[in-house]
Amino acid sequence: MSEKKKSRKSGAASEPFWRGRALADFSKTEWERLCDGCGRCCLVKLEDEDTGEIHFTDVGCRLLDPARACCSDYGHRSRRVRDCIRLSPESVATLTWLPPTCAYRLLAQGEDLPDWHPLVSGRPESVVEAGVSVLGRVSALEDELSVDELLDHIVAWPAKVPKAAKKGRKKRD
């Protein structure tokens, strides 16, 4: 059941936990619940050495399970993948490669969670329906390709908001 429905059903007038609070104020459990599970941050990104521009690829981290669009070893990802970045309230403000659909990025920018986010919809499959998930869009895992081959896998879609996901985006009050 979605956060909106829980509040209405119980008669409570309280806002969902993510509204009206700074990212730094979330508990570890609340922080983890903000992730919509799209898998976009688990795609390999390439940085142009000359310009600093970040390019997404359709290649997943070696721990990405492309059939489920999630990490196959989430609890140990930082130990197993040297450059896996753990998001924090501080890092969210500085990471330019976070997808525009990322809940952490949206909240940091003063926006609310979109209607397709599982905390709002109450349905994890709403991420796939909105076209935000990497499900069915990962061409390979990083261990399957050479660095040179990664250049052939640069794609624009992870840095864009899919048409189906554009509805339901709003600014927080």
Residue 9: its pLDDT value, please?
A: 45
DSSP-based three-state secondary structure for 27: coil
Q: Which residue has the higher pLDDT, 127 or 171?
A: 127
Dist CA 169 CA 20 (whole Å) = 17
Q: Confidence band (pLDDT; 50, 70, 90) for 10?
A: very low
What is the distance, to the nearest Å, from the Cα of residue 100 to the centroid of all Cα atoms in its chain? 9
pLDDT of 44 > 90? The answer is yes
Average pLDDT, the chain: 89
pTM of the model: 0.85
Q: Is 68 left (phi over 0), alpha (psi -120 to 50) or beta?
A: alpha
State the average pLDDT over residues 25-41. Answer: 95
Q: Confidence band (pLDDT; 50, 70, 90) for 168?
A: low
State the average pLDDT over residues 61-81. Answer: 93
State the average pLDDT over residues 25-45. Answer: 95
Q: Where are the alpha helices (DSSP H) in 14-161?
A: 28-34, 77-80, 89-92, 103-108, 118-121, 126-129, 147-150
CA atoms within 13 A on the CB side of 84: 20
For strand 64-65 and strand 70-71, is the pairing parallel, antiparallel, or unpaired? antiparallel
Residue 14: its pLDDT value, please?
A: 83
Among 4-13, 57-66, 116-125, name the one with the lowest average pLDDT.
4-13
| Helix, strand, coil abundance in the chain, percent, nearest 5 | 35, 10, 50
State the average pLDDT over residues 110-135. Answer: 96
Residue 43: its pLDDT value, please?
A: 97
pLDDT of 104 > 90? The answer is yes
